[in-house]
Chains A and B, each alone.
Chain A
């Protein structure tokens, strides 16, 4: 569970309220999913990479956490290049595969867009502690405590599921049923895991109730979840990246609003 074991909890970014990180990531993402052009994504990605050193993540940790994004983004692009909408000169054609000038541009735009959306989210969330996030969701966004804390307590059980899954695997070998029927066995184990998690969940609910969870009367929060200058500044940076990216695309004439009339 990388989310639970985050080591990047010492930098300046780690003290920023997780709700602000959520907000900043959303501000960057929204315009990028509304358009399909190279310029906005490239500008956003460029600004993000410039600001990345301020996130307080060492380079080692940066690569360790984001390599999957770097690996998957070009794959997404490749798919678009092979199967994307054909336009302009066709370079290559085989069955359903058609590589054209248009699909190559689209592929490049997609690759950069995936990077521009995923990198800030991954980097900002690398420094989020789930408990702090729950505090923020409950105190800043005023989401219901029952929901927020239920989810938080449930998240802690994910580690137990992994142990359960391994034990289920070994137990099936011990019972003599692990030689054949892989698919069926997988389904059986998935069902057993579901049953085990429901039982764990109900035990956890009892333990939480035994500590007054859901008791009548107002609940208080033991930890503050401050939302001040640093938080507004981070949201401001997110908004600025979004606005600059949109402005650049409009100026370059490539702004391509996916919900608007087609080009």
Chain B
């Protein structure tokens, strides 16, 4: 495959910029750099610095004039990137958004079909590409049965089969567990050995890609603010980048202090608990755990172990499959001991839940109204509602966004909003599903500090997480669920 693959692409940005049609501000502007054929580049920058926009521009998927306005030029092999579709391949962050067809082989072949590759050449390419990313499954395996890491490798194979000269990766591991992260990184390393390709990768977690890249470019206000070898750039700009949310190796975000007091009263206890989403399909069982006030509990384990399902069950949203889950009088008050029997309104002051995907729980047209939903459901008066909402807007740095539509916020802002919305009714227990997923270092530190403070104020925290740093930072007790059988 290597001998027939085309030359790696050279990339050049000449004072390039892009403004989305619906926005007044430029997403990115005045970007200038040249990447030589075969270079491997890590593209860094704070959230909102336009890294993704730049990658989409290189992939030629930003669309035409009706989608936005372009300044300067973006060239692949000295031609406008938009004219070189197929020369560059793009892998996106969300594994589920990139699976196109139902069977693995067909999905990998999709790009070749679009480029008009002859049929007899497609299937050898498909097999070679799956080989290169180490995805050793039959061609007719259902794509929906793959794990997140496998789906990202499938997307990589789909691009590789198109034999691009330029590989663009947009936070390809942000939504994966640690095993998936290593899986994808190793697949990229291996495929670069098989097929020489220019590589541009965007990722907050720098240390994952340091072994692969030879150059780091940093985007900031006014275009490129640093460009050079990884050692040089991180040495010079490391502290500044860390302050703007990039995970720089050797500069971890600060951890909050340990709890001053021992855990308080038990709020919720499970014994021999089995949990399920769909009737008679339990995904985890034999769970014994006590959730205590003033303490954090971290639920960890591989994908598919039933962590989220356990979270939703503890939160009183799913009925247990078997076993018992009982709230103590301390948590339940006058509401009975079984959380699933509580009314929706009764949950508000007892258990708050922050879902993994913030968009599932957005209800209102503005950020302020979103925070008012809970207090209004409780029947609080206008003054008290306003007092709570104003306080949360300040505390979670959402005040400037009070009138924005929640759907238009960035990932980090949406996460802060859903946490704030849960806090607006002051629940004794807060259940969070992957609160730090895909967050930059700054949002990470803020969330962890906030959770630590809630814990010290006497709330109980249950965090479902892959992120062992969260477990350490919160001094959380750890409940490890096993792999699904």
Contact = CB atoms under 8 A, between A and B. Distances in A.
A206 B115 contact: no
B265 interface: no
Between A131, A164, A175, A176, the greatest number of chain B beta carbons within 10 A of the residue's beta carbon is seen for A175
Between A152, A156, A176, A178, the greatest number of chain B beta carbons within 10 A of the residue's beta carbon is seen for A176
Interface of B: 56, 59-61, 85-86, 89-90, 92, 94, 96-103, 106, 109-119, 122-123, 126, 144, 155, 158-159, 162, 277, 312, 315, 317-318, 343-345, 347-348, 351-353, 355, 357, 359-363, 373-374, 377-378, 407, 421-422, 425
B106 A222 contact: yes
28 contacts: A131-B101, A156-B100, A156-B144, A167-B355, A167-B357, A171-B353, A171-B355, A173-B317, A174-B317, A174-B352, A175-B361, A175-B374, A175-B377, A176-B345, A176-B373, A176-B377, A176-B378, A203-B94, A207-B155, A208-B110, A210-B89, A211-B111, A211-B159, A213-B110, A213-B114, A219-B116, A220-B116, A222-B122
A172 B344 contact: yes
A93 interface: no
A221 B106 CA distance: 10
A218 B115 CA distance: 8
Contacts, number: 154
Interface of A: 4, 129-131, 152-153, 156, 159-160, 164, 166-168, 170-179, 188, 192, 195-196, 199-200, 203-204, 206-215, 217-224
B317 A170 contact: yes
Contacts of B345: 176, 179
B354 to A, nearest CB: 9
A224 B106 CA distance: 12
A206 B92 contact: yes
Nearest to B105: A222
B353 A224 contact: no
A195 B407 contact: yes
B64 to A, nearest CB: 12
Nearest to B352: A174
Contacts of B115: 212, 215, 217
A131 B113 CA distance: 14
A219 B113 contact: yes
Contacts of B312: 170
Contacts of B119: 220-222, 224
Contacts of B101: 131, 152-153, 156
A48 B118 CA distance: 41
**5 closest Cβ pairs, A-B complex:** A178-B344, A176-B377, A212-B114, A211-B111, A222-B109
Between A131, A152, A200, A220, the greatest number of chain B beta carbons within 10 A of the residue's beta carbon is seen for A220
Between A130, A131, A195, A211, the greatest number of chain B beta carbons within 10 A of the residue's beta carbon is seen for A211
